[in-house]
Amino acid sequence: MKKVLLLFGGNSSEHLVSCNSAKSILEHIDKSKYKVSAVGISKENEWFLYEDSIENITEWENKKTKKIDSIIPFLKQFDIVFPILHGTNGEDGRIQALLELFHIPYVGCNSKASGIGMDKHFTKILLSHFHIPVVPFLLYNKEKSLKEIENDIPYPIIIKPCNGGSSIGITVANNKRELKKGIKFAQQYDTKILLEPFLEMRELECAVLENKGHFIISPLGEIKATHTFYDYEAKYVDSSSKAELATDIPDNITKKIKEIATSVCQHLEIKGLSRIDFFYLPDTNQIYINEINTIPGFTTISMYPKLLTNEKFSYKDLITTLLENAHY
């Protein structure tokens, strides 16, 4: 029986999202194949063995137990590490680099692909090099005046921290006052800020699962947000916003999106799992890549597992496939 370590929490604005993903994995992992341990990483980057009830995992920091001081010897006890650490210090390649350094097998993308996927600016530069369409963008520079930004990008302008997820720190500006306020807000989450035109589009997603070197591309999902865009509240608080299977997408567009997703995975050396988000403009049939998520939300109701699981392939099967394709 393989020994699996699940890492969750972390020093990230997505700490709670990670706890919820870990809860679902612990509830569904095949315990006849894997002996599972879980470690919560605090917002101060301290590691604690989690041995309480799965139901209490979202409040785990109030119930800290055994602190792990010698992290590397502890990690080497396990056959596979499953980092379900969304955002900074977990999804950006840092934990992956640590595991690679000590040849500890783990689930997901390698450190290089993780770092690229996390940084929206670097992602756009590389995808543009491979002639994969991305939304026109501008990296904010304090030397550039707001007037110059307005000349380059028409309102409304979407303002994003380059490194982050769950739409945290993102706003839409319709005028100079909102632009200035949005930039200041985004700077609370990252020093690099990306500016893009806010498009009237359909937001589509596909889940990618690597199995024995081959990519399984899911059916398309669609975000139907009741907010201006699919922000944190729409994702996790407001139940009126929905993520569901996409309908009425022309077959040629579906085929093209899947081809682009495969190309992205090949060029960026994506491993294990990813969710690739697209913008589709029906009036022109234009497709843009929005972003790549190398550790997407992983609860039973998150878009990634929803798109891959069906009557023949369960959530438990998905976890097993990821573990069986672990690498270093």
* Residue 86 lies inside a defined structural domain of this protein: yes
Q: What is the CATH number of the domain that holds 205?
A: 3.30.470.20
The structural domain count of the chain equals: 3
* Residue 321 lies inside a defined structural domain of this protein: no
Do 278 and 260 lie in a common domain? yes
Task: Note the pLDDT tens digit of each residue in 116-172.
Answer: 999 999 999 999 999 999 999 999 988 888 888 999 999 999 999 988 655 778 999
For residue 166, the model assigns a pLDDT of: 57
Average pLDDT of the segment spanning 54-75: 89
pLDDT over 60 at 241, yes or no: no
Do 229 and 123 lie in a common domain? yes
* Residue 103 lies inside a defined structural domain of this protein: yes
Beta-bridge mates of residue 38: 6, 50
Q: Return the higher-pLDDT residue of 111 and 12.
A: 111
* Residue 142 lies inside a defined structural domain of this protein: yes
For residue 236, the model assigns a pLDDT of: 47
Question: 111-118 vs 94-101: helix axis angle to the nearest 10?
Answer: 170
Do 191 and 169 lie in a common domain? yes
* Residue 41 lies inside a defined structural domain of this protein: yes
Confidence band (pLDDT; 50, 70, 90) for 238? Answer: very low
For residue 229, the model assigns a pLDDT of: 52
Which is nearest to 120 in space by CA: 86, 165, 152?
A: 165
Which is nearest to 236 in space by CA: 37, 28, 18?
A: 18
Annotate 74-137 with DSSP letters as a single string: HHTT-SEEEE---STTTTSSHHHHHHHHTT--BSS--HHHHHHHHBHHHHHHHHHHTT--B---
Do 159 and 212 lie in a common domain? no
Do 125 and 250 lie in a common domain? yes
* Residue 211 CB coordination number (10 Å): 12
Q: What is the CATH number of the domain that holds 27?
A: 3.40.50.20
The domain in which residue 15 lies consists of 2-107
Do 288 and 208 lie in a common domain? yes
- The CA–CA distances, whole Å, from 65 to 62, 114, 172, 201, 252 equal 9, 30, 42, 48, 54
pLDDT over 90 at 194, yes or no: yes
* Residue 328 lies inside a defined structural domain of this protein: no
Backbone conformation region of residue 255, classed left if phi is above 0, alpha if psi is from -120 to 50, else beta: alpha
Please provide residue 310's backbone torsions phi and psi, each rounded to the nearest 5 degrees. -155, -165
* Residue 56 lies inside a defined structural domain of this protein: yes
Cis, bond preceding 105 (omega within 30 deg of 0):
no
Q: Return the higher-pLDDT residue of 77 and 230.
A: 77
* Angle, CA 321 vertex, CA 317 and CA 326 arms, to 5°: 150
* Residue 322 lies inside a defined structural domain of this protein: no
Do 229 and 283 lie in a common domain? yes
Average pLDDT of the segment spanning 172-177: 95
- What percent of the chain has a predicted confidence (pLDDT) above 90? 76
Do 124 and 146 lie in a common domain? no
pTM over 0.85: yes
Q: Which of 160-169, 184-193, 266-275 has the lowest mean pLDDT?
A: 160-169
Do 172 and 35 lie in a common domain? no
Do 51 and 120 lie in a common domain? no
Average pLDDT of the segment spanning 282-309: 93
The pairing of beta strand 202-211 with beta strand 157-161: unpaired
Do 209 and 240 lie in a common domain? yes
Domain boundary among 197, 212, 240: 197
- What percent of the chain has a predicted confidence (pLDDT) above 70? 93
For residue 63, the model assigns a pLDDT of: 72
For residue 226, the model assigns a pLDDT of: 57
Q: How far apart are CA 108 and CA 102, in angstroms?
A: 16
Do 28 and 74 lie in a common domain? yes
Q: How far apart are CA 260 and CA 287, in angstroms?
A: 9
Annotate 134-161 with DSSP letters as a single string: B---EE--TTS-HHHHHHHSPSSEEEEE
Average pLDDT of the segment spanning 194-203: 92
Residue-averaged pLDDT of the chain: 91
Average pLDDT of the segment spanning 61-69: 82
Q: What is the CATH number of the domain that holds 165?
A: 3.30.1490.20
Q: How far apart are CA 88 and CA 295, in angstroms?
A: 11
